Amino acid sequence: MTEIQCPGCGLFHPSAGLQAPRGLAASGECSSASSLVLSAFYQPELVSERQYVVDAYACTHPDSSTRIGIQTTALCLMTLDLYLECGQSVAEGSQMHQEMMRGRPDFFTRLDPPSLQAVPTYQLFLGVPSANSTALACNWAERVWRAWATHHEQIRAWNQQLVPHRVHS
């Protein structure tokens, strides 16, 4: 069986000829496999934490070769900052992305991706009981955010510019 390596997280999956997701440096196979694992976050007791794993997955698959990829990385790092440093509700993550894009900002710049080798992949959720998933999701988001430390100032500045009402020190 042919295996395909994900260009983002490096995991190997059986090749199924799946199309890569838009805005992410991920194989279609990684995207599909991760969706199955992370679909646990659609359960009612976990859905409020779902954006933690959506954003963390995106920030472990940064695509800096396209405009949509650069924007996706920026927006997902910005919400990680707002959850972790500003106490914003993870349940409002999608809404915050909409607020960021309201004025159609086009100034996001490419952020040189850090080494993400020390950051776990979505597979850390395999076999985890849902009672433990919330804490694990928060921990994963924190580790992904810390991996991007060299860009924290830029990300905070974009939040200050686009969603100042969400920023609390």
Tell which positions 66-95 bind Zn ion, by CB under 5 A: none
Residue 8 as a binder of Zn ion (CB under 5 A): the answer is yes
CB of 122 vs Zn ion, minimal distance in Å: 8
The correct pick among 6, 54, 90, 116 for binding Zn ion (CB under 5 A) is 6
Binding to Zn ion by CB under 5 A, coded x per residue (else -) over 19-48, reads -------x---x------------------
Give dist(CA 134, CA 148) in Å, integer. Answer: 22
* Count of residues near Zn ion by CB under 5 A: 5
CB closer to Zn ion, 31 vs 88: 31
The correct pick among 9, 53, 96, 163 for binding Zn ion (CB under 5 A) is 9
CB closer to Zn ion, 26 vs 100: 26
CB of 59 vs Zn ion, minimal distance in Å: 12
What are the tokens at 35? 């969706």
Spatial contact of 76 and 52, defined as CB atoms under 8 Å apart: no
The structure tokens 């059986």 sit at 14
CB of 9 vs Zn ion, minimal distance in Å: 3
Q: Phi and psi at residue 100, in whole multiples of 5°? A: -65, -35
Spatial contact of 26 and 61, defined as CB atoms under 8 Å apart: yes
All residues at 6 or more sequence positions from 6 whose CB lies less than 8 Å from its CB, including other chains: 12, 13, 26, 27, 29, 30, 61
The structure tokens 């969400």 sit at 166
CB of 116 vs Zn ion, minimal distance in Å: 10
The structure tokens 């580790």 sit at 143
Residue 147 as a binder of Zn ion (CB under 5 A): the answer is no
Provide the 10 A C-beta neighbour count for residue 155. 23
CB of 140 vs Zn ion, minimal distance in Å: 14
Spatial contact of 148 and 114, defined as CB atoms under 8 Å apart: yes
- Contacts with Zn ion, residue ranges (CB under 5 A): 6, 8-9, 26, 30
